[in-house]
Amino acid sequence: MRNLAQCGLKIITYNFMPVLDWLRTDTAFPLLDGSRTLRFDRLAFIAFDLFLLKRPGAEKDYPAEEIAAAKAKFNGMTNEFKRVLYENMLLGLPGDDESFTALEVLEALDGYAKIGPKELKKHLFDFLQAVVPVAEEVGLKMAIHPDDPPFQVLGLPRVVCTEKDVEELLAAAPSPANGLCFCTGSYGSRPDNDVAAMVKKFGDHIHFLHLRNTKLEPNGGFHEADHLGGDTDMPAVVREVLAIMQRRKLSIPMRPDHGHQMLDDLDKKTYPGYSAIGRLRGLAELRGLEKGLSYSMG
């Protein structure tokens, strides 16, 4: 952290998701306009956990009706669908071409067998109490990215998912250096999160913005929607962000995130969610929204 500060960096974005990063069952879900997007199908995920990964004790994490529905879905899958699902769930970390193996994941999961949400939160708070004073000393801002998806997966606890989680982590190490990478897509993947209200409430602690949108599905799943579509009210979010920046007299860095694969990128090999054209489209939409709201707010 001291070296990063000496190099002129101001913000460190990180997450506290154990073993795996973000997870999607489908990395090329077709949309009506011909583009492709990322999707988390809960029943497909349960089918992977129970019947492909075969995680020991996995059946304890799901109600009987979901297990039955996942089994029926699995039985209806083609071998090709199962192969793609398996590969999608074992994707390597962003920026890495290497995928995980099932054995690597199972061995890593075993290391968390006795760690639940309470224990993992304590680890997070201990980490923050150790590093935040150093960040404050050298002029860095720590910005934690929420869990994605924002609920337990593969028996692993997820502890940065809700408004209450954010309140607790900010209280664990009170400091201007302890803050958020506020991802509207991750928080918006839970119907119990009011994303615009959270932006307003935690505005003094937001150091970086990931603006994307998700469409919730009936079975607990979701897919990545247009940046101005989906279930998060993006105009309300950006209006709150503009008010925060005016009050704090600064510009919060922002990026569009998880763009759709579209046009020429449909025929290119890209890391899922990070093809250029879809994210540039999202950026243009968000900049237009910001400009329009700026004029209306005076």
Residue 241's nearest CA partner among 179, 283, 195, 188 is 195
145 is catalytic: yes
Q: 183, 234 in Cβ contact below 8 A? A: no
26 is catalytic: no
Q: List the strands of the sheet with 26-30, edge to edge.
A: 26-30, 36-40, 222-224, 214-216
From the list 205, 210, 227, 260, the catalytic residue is 210
Residue 186's nearest CA partner among 204, 208, 219 is 208
CA 298 to each of CA 125, 242, 286: distance values in angstroms, whole numbers, following the listed order: 41, 11, 18
Q: 143, 14 in Cβ contact below 8 A? A: yes
> Which ranges in the chain belong to alpha helices (H)?
2-6, 42-47, 64-75, 79-89, 102-110, 117-138, 163-172, 184-188, 195-201, 234-248, 276-297
From the list 181, 183, 207, 223, the catalytic residue is 183
From the list 49, 165, 226, 257, the catalytic residue is 257
Q: What is the DSSP code (8-state) at residue 154?
A: T
From the list 205, 207, 223, 258, the catalytic residue is 258
Three-state secondary structure readout of 22-70: CCCCEEEEECCCCCEEEEECHHHHHHHHHHHHCCCCHHHHCCHHHHHHH
Q: 256, 286 in Cβ contact below 8 A? A: yes
62 is catalytic: no
- Cα 209 from Cα 252, distance rounded (Å): 7
Would you put residue 199 in left (φ > 0), alpha (ψ -120 to 50) or beta?
Answer: alpha
From the list 26, 41, 49, 145, the catalytic residue is 145
258 is catalytic: yes
- Cα 176 from Cα 174, distance rounded (Å): 7
223 is catalytic: no
Q: 145, 181 in Cβ contact below 8 A? A: yes
Q: Which residues are catalytic?
A: 145, 183, 210, 257-258, 274
